[in-house]
Amino acid sequence: MAKPSPKAGRETEVRAFTRDELVLVFNHVTEYWRPLYATLLVTGARPAELSPSPRSAHKPLLKTEIDFESGIIHLRQAKGRLGKRPRSRPPIPVPQDVLHLLKEQVARTPGAYPFVFTAAHNAARDFNRTLQRAGIPRVDAADRKLMLHSFRHTYATLMAVQVQNNPHFLKSLLGHSKITTTDRYCQVEACVVPISDFNLSLARKPTKGAPPATVEVISRVEGEV
């Protein structure tokens, strides 16, 4: 998906992660950001749908919108046509390892604070630092950029494979209003493995000399396609 560049006459394309890049990211992310990164990846949420942002109309994730018993997250849809109710997204199943991270995240926030995540003021800066530690170039040879939104691109890419590139199903999963937007998110060349086979070290930072802990990223449409 192309986004305007601060420099006139240029635009930057945001790309999905490759499988190897994701493994590196979750092996080098700090424990502070791990819950957010993992939740972005397994839900396909926009960053502002999880963390409060004064520059976005999206509704950040509430503590009450996580059903820990059922392993389900409900994302509210903020955008909609004038005079019409916003579209609802299907409930999102979340792997147990990520639910554990979210429980710890909720426990760290003040009891009266309604949201799961606090405002991520330094999210872009710290994301770039994670890429640096992982040895991943922020911009590739084709001038495509990695940023927090790349987790959503990666989710869309994996789900496109899982739903056999059905654009209408994928549009519903991502909460898009236009098919053309969904098409721009599908970058099948980036990751071509089924999401049900996509094992990553999301939940815990591996101890020195030990193999990385893994968690299976479960597709909400597994068994439906």
Q: Is residue 221 part of a domain?
A: no
Cα distance between residue 167 and residue 154, in whole Å: 16
**201 or 37, greater pLDDT:** 37
Domain count for the chain, please give it: 1
Strand partners, 11: 4
Burial group, residue 115, by CB count within 10 angstroms (0-12, 13-18, 19+): middle
Cα distance between residue 59 and residue 67, in whole Å: 17
Q: Is residue 5 part of a domain?
A: no
**For position 181, which CATH number holds?**
1.10.443.10
Domain that holds residue 187: 12-216
Q: Is residue 2 part of a domain?
A: no
Cα distance between residue 2 and residue 5, in whole Å: 9
Q: Indicate the pTM of the whole model.
A: 0.76
Q: Is residue 146 part of a domain?
A: yes
pLDDT tens digits, one per residue of 169-215: 666 666 656 666 666 655 555 444 444 444 455 555 544 444 333 33
